[in-house]
Amino acid sequence: MRTITDIREMQSIAIQLKREGKTIGFVPTMGYLHEGHLSLLSAARKENDVTVVSIFVNPLQFGPKEDLATYPRDFERDSSLAEKEGNDYIFFPSADEMYPVTPSVTAKVQDRTDVLCGKSRPGHFDGVATVLIKLFNIVQPDKVYFGMKDAQQVAVVDGLVRDFNIPVEIVPVQTVREEDGLAKSSRNVHLLPAERDQATALHQSLKMAESAIDEGEQDPQKILARMKEFIKKNTSGEIDYIEILSYPNLKQISRLEGKIIIAMAVKFSKARLIDNAIISVKKES
């Protein structure tokens, strides 16, 4: 496995691989890899000739009061995990390498951002879209792998690739969870012991909602009310949002039908956790 820190070198390698007729599977990350990231790498390795993982904590997607400075970083650990997974290249640029000067052009995401995380994090997905356009041009992947834990990001990237005719295939991979249901996340390390126990309530509330839908409930407001009550009763966290929307268009709905997302964010003392479920609701006959 090779570590590349220079944009031109990574781009040159990608161009040569393309000339050789090899396919490139790409996993963009901000590092501090966990089993969720490794599941993306595993999928990429199975479906492509060469795999590339990027590790870059992108400052453009952090707000002024967000955790850029405290975001967990451990490159040696990440490198070891990626190599054990059979990864071929790590692209590990510095912020100065990616943004040597203030960008003269950045992306502006117009749709699918005024809900869920985008509502409370203005500009976040603009930063995500901007760095992904750069990474896609540098790595030149055939397939790019994203975890469905951040389903809004997957929806935004789907729109980005479609609108800009970027020749890559987006491959969504199901959320990897702890044995008790908590979604794997780099931010879980910031949970206090009591909060870690309480955090299982997020997944439990999603399962509760799924059961209600299976039993015929079609009013999203009733389901949301039950979920909010459950989270407030079983955690010390502050609910940022719980929403039910169409997917991947992320539009408000008054009745449950078709493909939907039930998504939430809950703030604990030092960590903000997200989780979701994508459900296909059958129409009543």
DSSP annotation of 167 reads -
The count of other CB atoms within 10 Å of the CB of residue 37 is 26
- Active-site entry in 37, 124, 190, 203: 37
Provide CB contacts within 8 A for 283, sequence distance 6+.
257, 258
Q: Are 36 and 176 in contact (CB under 8 A)?
A: yes
Half-sphere exposure of 101 (CA within 13 A, CB side): 3
Secondary structure of residue 211 in the 3-state scheme = helix
Residue that has been written with the tokens 């994203």 in this structure: 146
Secondary structure of residue 128 in the 3-state scheme = helix
Q: Which residues fall in the annotated binding site? A: 30-37, 61, 147-150, 153, 176, 184-187
Q: Are 26 and 54 in contact (CB under 8 A)?
A: yes
Rounded to 10 deg, the angle between the 7-19 and 124-139 helix axes is 50
**What does the alpha-carbon distance between residue 229 and residue 154 come to, in Å, rounded to a whole number?**
28
Is 124 marked active-site? Answer: no
Closest CA to 1 of 71, 43, 39, 51: 51
**In angstroms, what is the C-alpha Rg of the chain?**
19
Tell me the catalytic residues. 37
